[in-house]
Amino acid sequence: MVANWKMNGDLQSIERLICDLKRDFLDKDLESERVIILPPHVYLQIVAKDIGSTSILIGAQDTDERESGSVTGGVSAKMLRDVGCEYVLLGHSERRNLFDEGDGAIFQKLTQALKVGLKAIVCIGESLEQRNSGQVLEVISNQLEPIINQETLPQLEELLIAYEPVWAIGSNKSATIQQIGYALSKIRKILRDVDINLSESTKILYGGSVTEKNIAEILAIDEVDGALIGGASLDSKIFSKICRIAKTI
Ligand code: PGA
């Protein structure tokens, strides 16, 4: 389960969220679940410290595509590693749309992340217009293919891919079981066609209006290995409940 907190919260609310999550994890014996939290950059170090010795892992919501230097406001992959990140989210549709990030920049970010040993969670998914014009498969392939090549392949043993249809994000309207099943089977096929080992080691997540109410049926879909959760991850009770349900599936 990956919690994408986006640009939400403040120091006080984030410390409270961590404290509640830690308690729930210990009380409900969730330590065996792989849970990754993606706080805003400025709180990464505090969260890493507060999370202490629990099994919860930390990741960043983005990284810069350059290694270091004159990049005002930039945060490099090495800096993320320095403050305790193990993961980095790349290519979220909000980054693609609000910051005009294209596949080229996403590939550069992936390269920087892999260089310092960060594991990548790469988001892909179609807009509503693209879905309505029958382009789901084309969009998925176009977003996936540029990041998998001979250069990155040897380092992609622990890749996470999140299929997030843009129209399902924050809309209270998750994709249907059939839509998720179709997209994920296509993603798996693309991976298999590139490299069988890559296909076996890659975990595929679904994201887009995941809640405690639909997580069970989503995780029951064959190809789904986990979920990327935005809004519902900001409430510790709901997020812990999602993790508890996931543990039983
Ligand atoms: P949501 O966000 O769960 O609020 O739909 C998911 C995401 O954007 O990663």
The set of long-range contacts for 240-243, using a CB threshold of 8 Å and a minimum separation of 24, is: 240/20, 240/21, 240/24, 240/25, 240/28, 240/30, 241/212, 242/1, 242/210, 242/211, 242/212, 242/215, 243/1, 243/25, 243/28, 243/30, 243/33, 243/35
pLDDT reported for residue 154:
83
- DSSP percent split of the chain into helix, strand, coil, nearest 5: 50, 15, 40
pLDDT reported for residue 37:
97
Exposure of 102 by Cβ count < 10 A (0-12 exposed, 13-18 middle, 19+ buried)? exposed
CB of 209 closer than 6 angstroms to any ligand 1 atom: yes
Report CA-CA distances (Å) from 82 to 34, 60, 88.
21, 12, 13
Closest atom of ligand 1 to 171 CA is 5
Nearest CA to ligand 1 atom 9: 230
Check: CB of residue 93 under 8 Å from CB of residue 230: no
Closest atom of ligand 1 to 208 CA is 5
Q: What is the DSSP string of 115-128?
A: HTTPEEEEEE---H
Q: Which of 171, 210, 214 is the pocket-test mutation for ligand 1 (most atoms within 8 Å of CB)?
A: 210
pLDDT reported for residue 32:
73
pLDDT reported for residue 156:
87
State pTM to two decimals.
0.95
pLDDT reported for residue 219:
97
CB of 164 closer than 6 angstroms to any ligand 1 atom: yes
State the distance from the centre of ligand 1 to the C-alpha of 49, rounded, in angstroms.
25
The position carrying tokens 């969670």 is 121
Q: Which of 167, 229, 235 is the pocket-test mutation for ligand 1 (most atoms within 8 Å of CB)?
A: 229
Buried b (16+ CB within 10 A) or exposed e, 226-238: bbbbbbbbbebeb
Which tokens hold the place of 160?
Answer: 């996470």
> How far apart are the C-alpha atoms of 57 and 237, rounded to whole Å?
18
Catalytic residue IDs: 92, 164
4 beta partners: 38
Please list the rounded mean pLDDT of every run of 10 residues in the chain (249 residues).
97 95 78 89 95 90 97 97 97 96 95 96 97 97 89 86 97 96 96 92 97 97 96 95 90
CB of 208 closer than 6 angstroms to any ligand 1 atom: yes
